[in-house]
Structure 1
Amino acid sequence: MNGRSNLTPALLAAPSLVVYAGALLLPLGGVLLLSLHGFDFEKGILPGWGLENYRDLLTDSLFAESLLRTLRIALWTTAICLLVGVPEAWIIYRMAPRWRGAMLLIVVGPLLVSVVVRNFGWMVLLGTTGLVNQVLTILGVPGAPFRLMFTELAVVIGLVHVMVPLVVLSVWASLGRLDPVLERAAFSLGASRLTVFRRVVLPNVMPGIMAGALMVFCLSASAFATPAMLGGKRLKVVSSMTYNEFLNTLNWPLGAALATLLMVAILTATLIWTRFVETRAMCRLGEVAEGGKGGSRA
């Protein structure tokens, strides 16, 4: 009887595992195997196996520069999204119920617009004769008009525009589980609004913040359309290099190696981030436990 009960969770999860393996693991395995093949411009994909593609990429300064640029853009996008999204979610949470729905619809609006249309809008705004440069010129800012298009700044702006809603929704879900009694208790003890937000609200919504940051980082590091349109051909990121190898030079094994290395870099950053979060959480739990013991001894 115990053996059957132990197998029940595995049997219930089996259908989802099969779908997961068929939709994700098998294609990823195919990309990994493809990256181990050689390539010749006359013969195409060679039948042999080897690590030449990875050796060429890891010794290529252009790939190293593109990878660092990709991670830098993703980190800047994540930081700005957190600075904007967390207070925004808190403000919406404190609004009257009749305004929350409208504000959430406005926040989620960028997700409802095509990425191409959205990026074309930013191209119009950030161009040399665009609205942003026109305003800066009218204000008499020294050096205006600036070269904003085809820069990392333009890519970060385009990514932040669409990634902020992910942080807002993630933090909003955590705020929905926040007990209002905790805030009222803090106010009754004389805490200011800033102290309540920093010492009560922020620790309780930290899981939502971490989840939103992780989603933004992964999606920003693997984004293709926004860097391609707002960054141009000269601003290389790993996703655009992968696209070029697959569809322009037709060197599929090298493109597969690029995709694999990008996935490994993102997974490594994710594991480091998760480990950091777990360490901080365990330290905080330890502090809380020690405080509780001290209070009981007192």
Structure 2
Amino acid sequence: SLQWLASQMAVDPRFNDAMVRIVYNGLTGAEPLAPPGDNATEAEWDAYNAESVQLDALKDSFVANNQNLKTLIKEIVLSPYFRADGLTTESFAIVHEDTGAARLLSPEMLHRKINALLGFEWRGPLDLYSVAKDNDRRARLLDDRQYYHQIYGGIDSFVVTQRLTEPNGLMVAVQERMGNELACYAVPNDFLTAAEQRLLMPFVETTTQPTSSANQEAIMQNIQHLHSHLLAEDLAIDDPELQLTYQLFISTLEAGQAAVGSTEDGNLPFLCRRTNDLLTGDDLASPLTTDPNYVIRAWIAVAAYLMSDYRFVYE
């Protein structure tokens, strides 16, 4: 019977090894290192031996706690192979070349991350979201017929059974489209809510321009917040990375304002406009369709820049 088979498998020592490796791979995104070959370097052997010691310790803890899966998960999360942020010295850089939990998010994981960070899923223009929110055929990262599930490395468990762990050209193109679309949707949508409830724009308004030191400080604070919220970067306010993003905002703002009246007008792009309630589809009392000073579009450029960064799709 299945019960007998399960009981026999559970007492086989290989079961414990397999469970540790499966859960380790699931949490870190990395396969345990294979034994180095005869021509392996000392560094490769050091890396393999160090990881093997850690895996053996995880297995011992798992077995000692009556094969409790919660214990195994906790021990992996607390291990240096999951939590390490970097090396304190370059001495072991070669040994730990492949160490770390950063991995390309699967389509399903990225789908959930977008919802958590932006407050909506990637299902197309937000004015149509009330219709699309319950239809997985409209979910850009879940549907493999019209959209990007398999293009972005997903599996169907029939023909495609192996997830892609390294991005290719098509996946990069999907990410660029994702960054541009989501920024277009998210920034105007965020400005519809009160500042204290916003996910992306808590420090600025649609009228905040760098015309005073107070406004410049608010813009920098919001850029710092976006780096933290979207890329999980804890950067000081004078960090060069924030300065680069600030310059992107300023250059986009200045170029856009100079073009308004000629190649640009005072309206948001059609698909970026917000006129309907996100969940009900009812008309908004105060729709957001215009951007006369180009501030919203400058923030859209910043958000697209950050969501096109590799750190947005890796964790």
Q: Do these two structures clear the TM 0.5 threshold for a shared fold by scoring above it?
A: no
TM-score, normalization: structure 2?
Answer: 0.24
Higher RCO by CA contacts (8 Å cutoff, separation 6 or greater): 1
